[in-house]
Structure 1
Amino acid sequence: NLVASAIVVAAIWKEQLIQRSARREADAGKRADLQQRRFETICESTYDAIFEADSGGCITWASGQLITKLGYSHHQVLGRRQLHFVAPHRRRTLISETGASDSKDVEYCVETQILDSRGRARWVRLSGGTFTDAKGVVKWVSAIRDIDVEMANIERMFERSRLESLGTVCGGLAHDFNNLLTVIGIYGELVQEPEIREGILQSQRQAADVTAGLLTFARKQEFRDQLINVQEFICAAKGMIERLVPANVDCRWKIRCPEASVNVDPSQLQQVLINLVNNANHAMSAGGSLVISAEIKTLSRTESAVHGLDAGDYVSLQVIDTGCGMKPETTIRAIEPFFTTKPRGQGTGLGLATAHGVATRAHGTLIITSEWRVGTAIEVLLPKQLSIVESSSTELPTSGAETLDGIVNRRILLIDDRESLAEALERSLRRVGARVTTRGTAEEAWDEVRENSAFDLIITDIALPGESGIELIQRVRSRHPEMKAILISGHQQDDLSVVTKHPEITRFLPKPFGVNDLLAAARQLLAFEPAVH
C-alpha cells in the first residue's frame, strides 16, 4: 500500500510538473509572440526601412513605411539582392564603403542613392552590418533613412555659396573692366574721325552693358530705373537675342507697341529677355518655333485682381515656345529660386525667379502658361507709362565755349592709382583749360592739400591703396568744409553717404563714363564759383 501510494503521489507530482512546465512554456510563447508582434509593429510604423539579408545579399525580411513611399510592396522587395535597388553609378562605391566583398564582420553608416519604383534616384543613409544568428549563419541587417530633402537643402546651400563666390569674382572683374572701359571711352572721344570715334564708343557702350550684367549677377549694382521705349529697346536687343537662338529654332518677332514706355532698369529688362529666351531654347533641344512679342494689354478690375495688380494699361512682353512644356506641378514651382528640371550643371534655377523679381519690383507680374509636350508661354506684364519725359541734358560738347565755361584755369586735384586712367582723365581736363595735379594715393593727395590748399575741385577714385577716396574727402573737408569733390568708382555698392549729405558740393560718377559726363559734373560744381588763384 505504501509503495502504491508513493507511486500515485509521484505520478501526480510528475503531472503537475509537466502541466506547470507547459504553462511556463505557453506563457513564454505568448510573451515571445507579444514581443514579436510589438517588434513588427514598431518596424512597420517606423518612417525608415529595415532589411535583413542572407550572406549573398538577398533580402529575406523587410519592414518600414519607406518601402511603400518608394513605391514598392513587400513582395516586390523580398528575394531580391540589396544592390538591385542601389543606383547603378553608386554600387561600386557602396561595396567599397560597406566592405560587402569581405567575409569578416562589418559595420557601416554611409550615404548613397537608391531607386524608387519609377527609377528615380533618392538619397538615403544606410547603416547596419553583419551578425551571426543562433544557427551560426551570417546575415546582413540594414536600416535605411530617407535624406533626399536634406541632401537637396545641402546642395542648394553649396550652390548658393558657389554663386556668391562666382558673384564676388564677377564683381571684381566688372570693376576692373569698368576702369579699362573708362580709359577706352575717354580716348575714343578724342578721335577726330567721326565714324571711327562712333565705332569705338559704340563698342565701349556694349562692353559696359556686359559689365553691368556681371554686376547685376553679383548683386553689386543698384537698380537704375528709367523710362524706356519698349519697341526701341527690343529692336536694339534683337541682334543679340537672335544670336542666342539655335539654328534649328524658327524665331519670329511680333512687336506692336511703338509708343509704349515702361519704367524699369534697362539692364534688368534685357536680362529678363535673355533668361526667357534661354529657357525656351532648352525646352526645344530638338528644334521648334519661338515667338517674341510685345503689345499693349488693358486689364479690367477683375483681370487685374487675379494677378494682384491695378487695373489699367500694361505692356505685355511674351516669349512663346513649342518645346516640351511643363507639367502642372512643375509650373507651380517654376519661379521658385534654385528650382530647375534641367540636368545637373545645366541650370541654376534662377532664370524665372530673376524675371519674376524684376517684374514685381516694377509693379508688374510674370504669368506662366504651359502644357506638357505642347509648349510654354511666359508673359511679363509691366505698367505702361504715359510717355518718355526727356530730362534736361547735362551732356556737353567736346569743344566750344560752353565746355570751357567754369573749367578754364580751375585747379583740380586728381587722385587715381591706375596710371592709364589717371593719364586719360588728366589729358581730357587739360584740353579744356583746367590746371591739373595728379596723385596716386590718398596720402599723397592729403600732403598736397596741406601744402597747397588752393584747389577748386577734387576728383578721386573711391578704391585707393590704403585710405579710400571717401575717407580722403572727409579728411579734406575737416579742414576745408566747402571743398567740392567728384567721386568715381567701378563698384555700385560703395558707401555714398558723403554724396547724399552734401549733394550741393559732391557728385558721383559710376564707371565707365565719358569725357562729357566728367565735364558736365565739374561744370555743375564750378560754374558759379570764382577760380582759386
Structure 2
Amino acid sequence: MMVTETCLFAGQSGDIVELIRRFDWAGTPLGPISDWPDVLISSTRLILSSPTPIVLLCGARGVLIYNDAYATFAGLRHPQIFGLPAEDAWPEIADWNRHVIDMGMAGKSMSQENLYLPLRRPGLQDDAWMNLYYNPLLDAAGQSHGMMCIVVETTSQMIVTQQRAQAEAELRSANERIELALDAGAVLGTWVWDIPNDKVTGDERFARAFSADPQEAGHGIRFDVVTSAIHPQDLPRVRTLIEQTMQTGGAYRTEYRIRKPDGSYRWIEANGRCELAADGTPLRFPGVLIDIDAHKATELALRQLTQTLEERVGEAVLQRVQAEEQLRQAQKMEAIGQLTGGIAHDFNNLLAGILGSLELIKRKLPAENPVLSKFIDAAIVSANRGASLTHRLLAFARRQSLDMRPVEVNKLVRATEELLARTLGEHIRLITGLADDLWLTRSDGHQLENALLNLAINARDAMPHGGELRIETSNTHLGESLARGYQVVAGDYLLITVSDTGSGMSQEIMRHAFEPFFTTKPIGQGTGLGLSMVYGFVKQTGGYLHMDSQVGRGTTLYLYLPRLHMEPDTAAQVDPVQAPRGTGERILVVEDDRVVRMLIVEVLEELGYQLMQAGDAQSALGLLEQSPPLDLLLTDVGLPGMSGRQLADAVRQRQPGLKVLFATGYAESAEVRDGYLDNGMEMIAKPFSFDALAAKIKSMLGDE
C-alpha cells in the first residue's frame, strides 16, 4: 500500500510535521516516504507526539528524524541538521554516533547516564551531560532499521552538582588554610569582647600573645588586663580608635606592639568589628590577631634602605664614571703602545746596523790610533743609550721579547737590595717587608729588576729632602669584580707594593703618569719612560699595575703578578755559557736588512763559522735544496712574506731538531718567548753586541 505524507501525519501538526512533509526525502539514503518500512513510520508518529526529546537514527547512515523537543535541545543547529546523517550533523561526537548506529543496526539496546558530550550548540551550553536510552527499530521480522534515542538532558543538575562540589572543596581549602595559618603563627589568635559585661574571651593563641593564662582567657578577662600588654607609646592611639569604633560600629583595624614574656615587644595587627544594639549601644567586639613582626622589620629595613638610596645611587654613578675612565685610559694606552712599538721596532733595526758597524770598525782599527778608538767608543755608548730607550718603549708597548721563567720575588728583592740602597742615597731609608711562603710568579727576572730600579729612582726624585721607601711582598686573590676592573683574569696573584713618602701626584698628573715621555722633571733630568716601561712590562706578564697617590703624602704602586703553581726548587735558572770561537759549523743567516745581514756574516765568518745568507724565507729555502745539512739557522722574526717562525718550521721538516736562533726588533707573536719557542730554539733582541751573539750561538751549539 502506498503511504503518503498526508495519511502518515493525519491528525498531527507542528513545526516538525510541516518540515517532514516539505522535506525532499528522495535525496537521502532513506528514499521517499512511500518506501519507508512500517517500523520507521510508526516510530516517527510516536516521537512526534512525545514531549520528551527523542531522535531517530535511521538506516545505516543514521539519518536524523526528531521531534519538537529535540529541536529545542539542538539549539541553533536546528533545522540544518534535520535529515542529515548523525556523523555529519554532530561531527564533534562522530565516533560516538558511529558506535550507536552500529549497535542499533545489530539490534542491540544501550543506555548511558550522565554522559558528557562536548556539543557545540549555538545559543546553548556547549558542555552537555545527559541520560541516553537507546532501542533498535525492529520490524516484525526482527530486522533493525536504526536506533531510537530518548534524551534526558542533565546539564543543569550536573553544573549545580559541580558547583556544590567546588564550593565544598573551596570551603575545605579555606578551613585548611586557616588551620595552617593558625599553626604556623601567622594568626596569633581570636577574641570576642562582651562589652556590657567587660569580658574578653580568647583562644589559647590569643592568651599566649598577651601573656595571659589560657584558662582565664577562655572564661573571660577584663579589657584593661588585655590592654596592659600594649606598648605604652601605642596604647593611647589604640584606646582612641576603639572608642571611635564603639560609637559608630563597623570595622576596626590597627597595628601596635605587645609585650612578650621576655620583656621584648613584637608587632601585631588587630582586625575586628563592633556590633551595636538597636539603640546604638555597643554589644560585641569580635576580632583576630595577625603577626606582622617580620613585615614591620622588613618595612623598617626598606625605609632605611630608601634613606640611603641617594648615597648608593651616587656611589653607583661614581663607579660607572671610574669604569668608563679606566676603559678610556686602557684604549689610550693601547693606541700609544701600538705607535711607540712600531717606532721602536724600526729604530732597533737601525741601531743594529749602527752598533754592528761600529763594533766591526773598532775590531779592524789599528791599535796605534787611540784617538779614533775613543770617538768610536763614544758612538757605541750613545747607540746603546738609544737601544735602552727603544727597550723601554717596547716594554711600554708590551712588544719586548721576555725570557719568562719561574721567579722567586723575595730572593730577587734581596739580591737587588744593595743596588737599590745605593741608588736611593743615604738620605732615604729603604725598608723591606717580605712575606713568608711567598708564591712563585712567571716573569723575566732581569726586566723585573729593572722595573724595581725604575720605581726606586722615581721615588728618590720625589723625596729630595729625604724620606722612606718601602718594598713589601704578599700573596693575594683578585675576585671577579676587582679583576674585571683591572682587566685581568680572576685568581691568585703575588703582590709587590712599592710606597714612598714623597711629594705625591695630583689626579691630573696620575692620568698621564704611565704615558711614555710624560714627565714632571726639568728638561734633561728624565725621559718619561720609567713608569711607562714598568706598566707595559707588568701588563705583558699577565699582571696589573695600580697606583695611589696624594699630593704631599706620597705614592704607592701595586704590582700584581700572576701566581705560578710550582715548587720553588724548580725555579733555578741556568747561567749562560760563555762562548769561544766556532769550529766550522754551518750557519744560515736570514735577515731582510742588508746592512745587518752583512755585519752578522762578517763577524761570524771571522769567528770560524761557515756562513750562507739570504734576504727572505723563499731564498733561504732555495739555498737549502742544494747545500749540506745546517748546524744552526739564524733568522729575523719579522721577515717579508713568510715569518721567521714559519721558515723555521719549514726548515725543520727537512732537518728535524735543527737549532734555531731568532733575532727580533720585536714581533707580535714573539713578545713572550714561552709559547713561541720550541725545543732547540732561542731568541736574541736587537740591537745586540757581537760578543752576545757569539756567546748565544756557542751556547746553543754546545748543547748538542
Higher RCO (CA-CA < 8 Å; seq separation 6+): 1
Q: TM-score range by the shorter chain?
A: 0.3 to 0.5
Using structure 1 for the length normalisation, give the TM-score: 0.48
